[in-house]
Chains A and B, each alone.
Chain A
Amino acid sequence: MRTCEDFEKLLPAYVAGVADPADVAEIGEHIGDCQPCMEDFQRIVRDLGVLKSWREPVAPDGLASRVLERLADAEERRKSEVRGAEIAVDEPFQNTFTVVVLSLIAVVMFATLVTAQTAARREEARRACAENLRQIGVVAVAEPVKRFAAPLETSAFREELLRAHRELLVCPVAGSLPPAVEGARGPLAPWTSYRLNLPGPTWLACDRAENHGGTDANLLMNDGTVITVTPAQAGLWQLLDPYSPGR
């Protein structure tokens, strides 16, 4: 049995959304039942809120030009050091034929590389989404609740989300969960809303907009509000985190 002291130690990770998924449900349940631990939880959130008042330190005027000037100076110094040691370079290709053949090879190689990179990036996005799901303790994934026909960005979809109560949207590109995720119930269907029976006062679902082709993504909170994350903002794992963008 865990004591209140054990739970207290877990609270910062819980607030940061980085608690062990296996502990998340238990922590949420405990703070729901235990007044002192709930107070500790609220205190952490409140104290961290002080950071919000920390105004952005403003760069002194002319910072960018000073950076560039310094760099130019450094380059100038380096150049004068190597001057005189310069080696003349011969024309590498006298034969036009060689140039044409090499160019063709380069084009084919480049195209292959680009294709491979796109696929790799897509795979990376899937992996990231699956990891996000793992981080919120997706062990709680229940049955699919609803399939959405419309893409994420449309306002119709947004409306639909708003109507759905306490249903959380799971990443539409996550694919299947890694087999390592305990309790995962097989592949997640794209564009499907799952009910996540997660404890805790506020839960945020969906994930990084970045994983969705750079478009905004709408996130449904379990209090019924929807927030929009734009690319480069974080989402899924920032459950209770006061620094979750959009809060």
Chain B
Amino acid sequence: MHETRIVEGIRSGSRAEFSTLVERHARELYAFAARVAGPEEAEPVVHEAFAQAWNSASTFQTDRPVRIWLLGLAVKAAAARAGFDGRWEAAARAELRAPGQARPEAVPSDAAAAGRLAALVTAELPFPQRVVLVLRAFSGFGIPEMAAVVNASGDTVAALLAAAYLSFVNRLEMRAAV
């Protein structure tokens, strides 16, 4: 509610309201961008997302959470950099393969190593899968929110999420095999 008022302030050109928005959301957008686009691209993605937010505050739908709007802008910025054409539905139609051979040693017991592995495997996923995986694992979003962030249907996001889970598992096991 309060956030919506902030965006209304931004619409009328308030710098103060905008800086509140930036202070509040920069951290989350950065973490999201770093996970989806890699640490190098993260800051440029955040800059672009906020620039879009400032320029397109008038198109913000006040019944939507600000967080979803901003993450959506970050997704767009990251997509452009990743060369993803925004065709979420087509991306969701990829064929699912059954999980590969199980390897009990796939998961490192050391937490730091596991964290690095998670980043490496995620980076190998196709962009749309990466986005839904990161949103699901770290934003606490359900399908409707994820669909709102990426501006696709719930069915599309659900299919992408299942595909992302499967790709993640397969790639993780493949790494363990090497």
| A binding-site residues for B, Cβ under 8 Å | 5, 8-9, 11-13, 15-16, 18-19, 39-40, 43-44, 46-60, 63-64, 66-68, 70-72, 74, 117, 120-121, 124, 128, 131-132, 135, 208, 232-238, 241, 243, 245
- The reply to whether B30 and A59 contact each other, CB–CB distance below 8 Å, is yes
Q: At the interface, is chain A mostly helix, strand, loop or mixed?
A: helix
Inter-chain contacts of B46 with A (CB < 8 A): 59, 63, 67
Inter-chain contacts of A124 with B (CB < 8 A): 63
B25-43 residues at the A interface, CB under 8 angstroms:
26-27, 30-31, 34-35, 39, 42-43
State A245–B39 Cα separation when bound (angstroms). 25
From A15, A16, A60, give the contact of B158 (CB < 8 A).
A16
Chain B interface residue count, CB cutoff 8 Å, equals 61
Smallest beta-carbon distance A221→chain B, Å: 17
| B binding-site residues for A, Cβ under 8 Å | 15, 18-19, 22-23, 26-27, 30-31, 34-35, 39, 42-43, 46-47, 50-51, 54, 63, 65, 67, 96-99, 102, 106-108, 111-112, 114-115, 117-119, 121-122, 133, 136-138, 140-145, 154, 158-159, 161-163, 165-166, 168-169, 172-173
From B97, B112, B144, B173, give the contact of A53 (CB < 8 A).
B112
From A60, A66, A236, give the contact of B47 (CB < 8 A).
A66
Most chain B CB neighbours (cut-off 10 Å) among A59, A120, A132, A241: A59
